Amino acid sequence: MDTQVAFLKYSRKDNPEKPCEERLKNFDEFHVFLSEDERRNQAKRCMHCGIPMCQSAVKLAGMITGCPLHNLIPEWQENIAAGHPGHALARLLKTNHFPEFTGAVCPALCEKACVNGAYGDAVSIRDNERFLIENAFKNGLMTPSVPVNRSGKKVAVIGSGPAGLAAADALNKRGHQVSVYERADEIGGLLMYGIPNMKLDKAIIKRRRALMEAEGITFVTKTAVDTKSRAEKLKKTFDAVALCCGARKPRALAGISDGDIPGVAYAVDFLTAVTKGLNTAEGKNIAMDPPREYPVKGKNVVIVGGGDTGNDCIATVLRLGCKSVTALEMMPEPPSVRREDNPWPEWPKIKKTDYGHTEAISVFGKDPRLFQRTVKSVNRDKDGALQSVVTVSVTLENGKLTEIKGSEKTLPCELLLIAAGFTGAEPKTAKAFGVKLSPRGTASCDVRPYRTSVPGVFAAGDMRRGASLVVWAIAEGVACAKEMDRYMMGYTV
C-alpha cells in the first residue's frame, strides 16, 4: 500500500547542493547525492499513470513536453521503489544509451509532464535516473557487451557529440563495425568542452569512451573531415557515413562580434578555453588562473543570452574571480508561476533561476539578469581593448526585436561573452560530402528522414535538427542508426 499513496506521504527531495561559498572555490560536482533508501522513497512517488505523459514527448502549444527518448519511466521507478536496481537499469538502458549525460544536464522534459506536477511537485525523475546509472557503474553492472555476430558492414560517424555517440553505440550493438571521427583532442563535442566540469565532470565522458572502445568502437580524434578528398576516401572505405557535426556556428551581434575586438568572445569558445586549461591535479578541478585567451579575474563581465550556455558562463566567471557579472536577456521576464493560459502538461513558461544565477545572487546580492535588453555598441580604450558596452532596451514587435529609443545605458565591461545561440552547422564538412544545407544552416534530409541527397550519407543531431538539447541529440542519433541499418541491410531490427 505504501507505493499507492506515496505521492501523498513523501514530499519531493532533490539532490542537495553544496553551499555557494564552498562550491565556488573549484569546478567540482556541487550536488550531494541522496542515499539509496531516500531514492527509493522518491521513486515511490511515481503514480504509475495509465497514460504516462512523462514519456510521451507530445507537442502542446508549440513546445515539447515529456521525454523525447520515450524512457519507460514508470517501469524503472517501480523497480527502484521495490529495491531492484538491476531490473530498473535494464528498463532504463532499453531506451537511453547515456543516462549519465541526461541525468546530469537534461532540463527534464519528463518532469514537466509528470502528473504530480499538475497540483504539486513532480517526481524527481532526473535524479532517480542519475542514481540508477551511477549506481550501476559503481557496482560493476556496466560491463562491455561485445556483439556476438558482426554484419561485415563498416560505418563512419563524423562528430562525437551525443548524437554521434548514440548513433555509434546503436550501430555497434547491431553488429556493424563503427569508427568515430572527432576533430578535437577528446570525444564528446559540447559535452566535453561546451558544458563546465561542475555540471558534467569530464571523467564521466572518458568512462563512457572506455566502455565503448571495449565494445569494439574505434575513436579517431584530432581528425577533421572537412575536405573533399577525405570525404571521398571515407565514402569509398565505409558502407555508410553519419554526419553528426553539431550546429556550432554562433549567432553574432551586429558589428561587434567579428573577433577583432580584444575582450569579445563567443561563449562556447570561452568555455572551451576554460575547460582545456583546468588544473586537474590529483583528480581535482582546482580553481585555475584565468584562461590566457580570455582573462577574467577582476574584470566586469557582460553575457548576452539567457539560455543554459549563458548560465554556465555566469557560473564559470564567478569561479574565475570576476569583479561583476551582468546577463542580458532579450525576451521579457517570465512569470514566477504558471499563467492560466499555460496549464499542465504544457511546458511551464516560468522564470527559471539556475545554479549560476543562484551563485551570482550569493556573491553580489542580486540577480545578474536584465530582461528585454541587449548590447547596442561597445566602447574601447586607447589600445583598442574593450572598456564598456552600451546596452538598450528592446521589445518584440511583429516577431522582430525593436530598440526602445532613449533607453541606452552604459555598463563597464572588459569581457563580453556572446551566448545568443547558434545559426546552424559549420559548412565545411557538409560541403566536403556534397550535402546541401537548408536556409536554417542544417543538413537537408528531404527525401527521407536522416538521409541526405548523397547516397550512403546520413545526418543527425543538431546538424539536422538545429541547436537543441542533449536528449534530442541522443534520440536523433538512435533514429539515424535505424535508418542507416535499413539502408545497409534492407531491413532493421
Domains of the chain: 2-138 (1.10.1060.10), 154-249+423-489 (3.50.50.60), 264-418 (3.50.50.60)
Neighbours of 402 (CB within 10 A): 11
Give the pLDDT confidence score for residue 479 in this predicted structure: 97
Q: What is the pLDDT of residue 447?
A: 75
Residues 407-434 have pLDDT tens digits of 999 999 999 999 999 999 999 999 999 9
Where is average pLDDT lowest: 70-79, 190-199, 278-287, 424-433?
278-287
Which amino acid is it at 126? R
- Banded pLDDT at 285 (limits 50, 70, 90): low
Q: At residue 437, does pLDDT exceed 80?
A: yes
Query: For the chain, what percent of residues have pLDDT higher than 90?
Result: 88
How much is the mean pLDDT over the chain? 93
DSSP 337: S
Mean pLDDT over 253-262 rounds to 75
Cα gap 467→490, rounded to integer Å: 31
pLDDT of residue 382: 92
Residue % of the chain over a pLDDT of 70: 96
Query: Residue 279's pLDDT band (boundaries 50, 70, 90)?
Result: low
* Residue 4 pLDDT > 80: no
What 3-state DSSP class applies to 136? helix
d(CA 398, CA 395): 10
- 196 Cβ contact partners less than 8 Å away, ≥ 6 residues apart: 27, 271, 274, 275, 312, 315, 316
Predicted pLDDT at 438: 94
Burial of 493 (0-12, 13-18, 19+ CB in 10 A): exposed
**What local confidence, expressed as pLDDT, does residue 294 receive?**
85
Dist. CA 198–CA 318, nearest whole Å: 13
**CA dist., res. 281 & res. 28, Å (int):** 12
Of 28-32, 47-51, 100-104, 163-167, minimum mean pLDDT range: 47-51
Quote the CA–CA distance of 17 and 198 in Å, as a whole number: 11
Read off the C-alpha cell for 107: 532540463
Ramachandran angles phi, psi of 157, nearest 5°: -115, 125
The per-residue pLDDT for range 212-223, each reduced to its tens digit, is 999 999 999 999
Q: Is the pLDDT of residue 288 over 70?
A: no
pTM for the model stands at 0.95
d(CA 386, CA 414): 5
Helix (H, G, I), strand (E, B) or coil at 302: strand
Residue 356's H or E segment, with its range, is helix 355-364
What is residue 446's predicted lDDT score, i.e. its pLDDT? 81
For CA atoms 278, 280, 285, 289, give the dihedral sign.
negative
Mean pLDDT of all residues in 373-399: 93
What local confidence, expressed as pLDDT, does residue 448 receive?
Answer: 85
pLDDT for residue 283: 46
Rounded to whole angstroms, the Cα distance separating 179 from 241 reads: 10
Q: How sure is the predictor about 256, in pLDDT bands with cuts at 50, 70 and 90?
A: confident
- What is the pLDDT at residue 397? 85
At 282 the pLDDT is 45
Beta strands 324-329 and 369-371 are parallel
For residue range 361-371, list pLDDT tens digits in order.
999 999 999 99
pLDDT tens column, 137-178 = 999 999 999 999 999 999 999 999 999 999 999 999 999 999
What is the model's pLDDT at position 291? Answer: 64
In the three-class reduction of DSSP (H, G, I as helix; E, B as strand; rest coil), residue 422 is classed as: strand
- The pLDDT value recorded for residue 277 is 85
What DSSP string describes 159-213?
--SHHHHHHHHHHHHHT-EEEEE-SSSSS-THHHHTS-TTTS-HHHHHHHHHHHH
d(C-alpha 483, C-alpha 15), whole Å: 38
